[in-house]
Amino acid sequence: MKVLVPIKRVVDYNVKVRAKSDETGPDLANVKMAINPFCEIAVEEAVRLKESETAQEVIAVSIGSNACQEQLRTALALGADRAILVETELEVEPLGVAKLLKAVVEKEQPDLIILGKQAIDDDSNQTGQMLASLLSYAQGTFASEIKIEDDKIDVTREVDGGLQTVSLNLPAVVTTDLRLNEPRYASLPNIMKAKKKPLDTLTPEELNVDASPRIETLKVSPPPERAAGVIVESVDELVEKLKNEAKVIT
């Protein structure tokens, strides 16, 4: 079995994101970047499938600038066998990402595509579903458990009412949720070995895909700061302030 794992380069989740002074976008200058946490979970699950000998090869793929090689090398250090970078300077939207991934899937012919359910920068939660639709593959979203037997995969997914288990025919697309696993840390020896693993570079033009954005970002600004709280001496004073100052009750 061959497993394809798309990953995304995002601002590290510990970093507080700030807007540029001209409000044209987020300020990424000298900001620590990392693999999207949900994508890290996808990499971990794919590596575990390989360690259990269910999968024979794990391929990490990313779409973005040349800087994405850093995150791909991290995925290689975590256990992926090789990596593919679809290099573009465009700000690719979920549909564009899905189209590019479809082209990569058609080229690599993986049996399973595992990706994070969403990225922490745009929170779109769209790419996995769009990719499954474009490929006409079965899909299991928000996976908290995966079991593979023969040519089927059972995905336990988190829904509003609890858990739902679906059985999918391979090939399939699975998006990962937080409770699927706990990603490992890359060891120093594996980080050194990752430098020698193959990393191929493609372009949208080579894949014959138009990934031009369809949405233009007009302005990015921080949320308004919250006003300081007020300590009141009694319930009557609280009611008075809610009625006359906040005007939330009548």
Partnered with residue 59 across adjacent β-strands are 4, 82
**Helix, strand, or coil here: 102?**
helix
The answer to whether 143 and 177 are in contact (CB under 8 A) is yes
Structure tokens that stand for 222 in this block:
């921080």
Quick one: 37 exposed, middle or buried, by C-beta within 10 A (0-12, 13-18, 19+)? middle
Q: Which residues of the chain have pLDDT under 70?
A: none
The pLDDT assigned to 169 comes to 94
**CA pair distance 9, 151, nearest whole angstrom:** 32
Quick one: 246 exposed, middle or buried, by C-beta within 10 A (0-12, 13-18, 19+)? exposed
**CA pair distance 85, 39, nearest whole angstrom:** 15
The answer to whether 98 and 209 are in contact (CB under 8 A) is no
What value does the CA radius of gyration of the chain take, rounded to a whole number of Å? 22
Q: What count of other Cβ atoms lies within 10 Å of the Cβ of residue 129?
A: 16
The pLDDT assigned to 241 comes to 87
The pLDDT assigned to 94 comes to 94
The CATH number of 2-218 is which of 3.40.50.300, 3.40.50.620, 3.20.190.10, 1.10.3720.10?
A: 3.40.50.620
**CA pair distance 33, 143, nearest whole angstrom:** 25
The pLDDT assigned to 245 comes to 84
Structure tokens that stand for 73 in this block:
């090398």
pTM, 2 dp: 0.86
